[in-house]
Amino acid sequence: MPTLDGTDARILLALVKDPRQTVVAMAAHLGLSRNTVQARMAALEKNHAFLPFDHRISPAPLGYPLTAFISVHVQQQKLPQLGAALAGIPEVLEAHGLSGRADLLVRVVSTGAEDLFRVNGKILACDGVERTETSLAMNELVPFRMSPLLERQLSK
């Protein structure tokens, strides 16, 4: 992906502040033409600068108030098919390959402790999983954010 310039960063920051604003309103606020904003947003989308919308949906109102991080130790040769198996578990929100002690870090949600036990069992049942270690998320100290990076881009 090409590096974003200051105009791209300004557009993205404007979207962070008010994601529902129209292109016309954003252009007026930023002092840019509507065509410039529209073209930049199309280029940003083409270059995969936008994450899927579901990143903005909280699992708690859906009945999943408990978040946990599960460190997964796997048989390396089975890693490719393990990703597909994990994607088949609805409570798995994301999974990342790691360097270090664990092979994967899996973020899951559950309805409570008993449900978390069930979700962990589904992960353990995946072919290639050797063992897991579960940590409950007690508090979100820094929520997902991009504004500081965008603001740094503006100061370059």
pLDDT band at 104 (very low <50, low <70, confident <90, very high): very high
- In tens, the pLDDT along 64-73 reads 999 999 999 9
And the tokens for 37? 């904003």
1, pLDDT greater than 60: no
Q: Where exactly are the structural domains of the chain?
A: 6-50, 60-136
- Six-digit token string for 86: 């994990």
pLDDT for residue 78 is more than 80: yes
Residue matched to tokens 């083409």: 46
At 2, the pLDDT band (50, 70, 90 cuts) reads low
Contact 123, 86 (CB under 8 A): yes
Amino acid sitting at position 84:
A
pLDDT tens-digit profile of 39-58? 999 999 999 999 888 888 99
Residue 131 is predicted with a pLDDT of 97
CATH of domain 60-136: 3.30.70.920
| Domains 6-50 and 60-136 are alike in CATH topology | no
CATH class of domain segment(s) 6-50: mainly alpha
Tokens matching residue 72: 């997964």
How much is the pLDDT for 55? 85
| Mean pLDDT, rounded, of the chain | 94
CA distance 123 to 69: 12
Encode pLDDT of 112-144 as tens digits.
Answer: 999 999 999 999 999 999 999 999 999 999 999
DSSP conformation class of 53 = G
Contacts of 38 (CB under 8 A, 6+ apart): 23
- Amino acid identity for residue 127 in this structure: D
State pLDDT tens for residues 33-43: 999 999 999 99
Nearest partner of 93 among 115, 68, 116, 118, judged by Cα = 68
* CB distance 93 to 137 below 8 Å: no
